[in-house]
Structure 1
Amino acid sequence: MNVLITAANSAEAYQLKSKLNAWSILLGDYLELPEIMVKTGKMIRLPDPKSVSYMHEMLTLCLDRNINTLYVLREEEAVLLKESEQLFTEYGIDIVYPNL
């Protein structure tokens, strides 16, 4: 199971990561991330929700990285992804909104 958790620069993302029992957990954020974490592959840069193609960019990213479950922690991301939830489901990607 490959998991992507958004809001990588938040404490909430790390708390969720420690609770999950997944084979591979990746943290990502569209906000600024420490360059060393990105270069080492511990975190990834996510598309900005302000982008007109945000949902397609997120779907492509999830497919490219074989993500099965996407945990969305930021409300602005959740609002957009809820609109495309069916599309993600068709590709075998579950979207989870732990706090929303």
Structure 2
Amino acid sequence: MKILITGGNNAKALKLMKAFPTHFVLLADYGDVPGIVTENYAFSSLGPLSKDSIAHILLNFSITEGIDCIVPLHQYEVEPIAKSAVLFGEYGIQVLLPDASLIAGYLPTEQNTYQNFAVFVAGECVFASGKEIFVRTDEKLNGVFGYNIADDDLKLFTI
């Protein structure tokens, strides 16, 4: 599986790579990005930033690069990508975000400095950096969520 993580120039994106040890991870960001390619990951540029066409830029990039799953980390990408998840799905690209109708409840209200993060796919926690076991009944919970302790309200792990 080929996973696209945006915000590739940020340390949070690098931390997130350990959640996907058996997949190829493409770390991408807008503007200049180091040209590094390894067996398990690579860095790539998404081109110039245009906030008005984020979904178009990421869909086009994902199709061109053969992406199977996208994890948007920039906060300004979250809503446009969540609203376009059905379109991404039509191209076989899974969007790792909560449903667009629920997204507002998961957006952090201030700059987050979470110590840990958890990755949920279809309601199942597939990775937790703090080694906690999360049991969620919401089958639609998708995304990367930050937390300090397991009892915290989960908020999207964004930059």
The TM-score with structure 2 as length reference comes to: 0.54
Are residue 86 (structure 1) and residue 86 (structure 2) matched?
Answer: yes
Structure 2: runs of 5+ lacking an equivalent: 97-142, 146-155
CA–CA separation in structure 2 for the residues paired with 1:24 and 1:30? 20
CA displacement at 1:57 relative to structure 2 = 2.1
The TM-score with structure 1 as length reference comes to: 0.81
The one of the two structures with greater contact order (alpha-carbon pairs below 8 A, sep at least 6) is 1
- Flag as ranges the 4+ runs of structure 1 deviating above 4 A: none
Paired residues, number: 95
Structure 1 residues 30-86: Cα deviation after superposition (integer angstroms, max 9, x where no partner):
1543xxx22x44311125242x33322211110111100101111101121112111
CA–CA separation in structure 1 for the residues paired with 2:57 and 2:72? 15
What residue identity is the alignment partner of 1:67?
I
Higher strand fraction: Structure 1 or Structure 2?
A: 2
Structure 1 or 2, whichever has the larger Rg, is 2
My pick for the range that moved more, 88-97 or 22-31, is 22-31
CA displacement at 1:24 relative to structure 2 = 1.2
Q: C-alpha root-mean-square deviation of aligned residues, in Å?
A: 1.8
Structure 1: runs of 5+ lacking an equivalent: none
Tell me if structure 2 keeps the 8 A contact 1:49–1:80.
Answer: no
1:5-20 correspondence runs (5 A):
5-20=5-20
Tell me if structure 2 keeps the 8 A contact 1:49–1:76.
Answer: no
Aligned identity (percent) is 29
1:98 equivalent in structure 2: 144
Higher helix fraction: Structure 1 or Structure 2?
A: 1
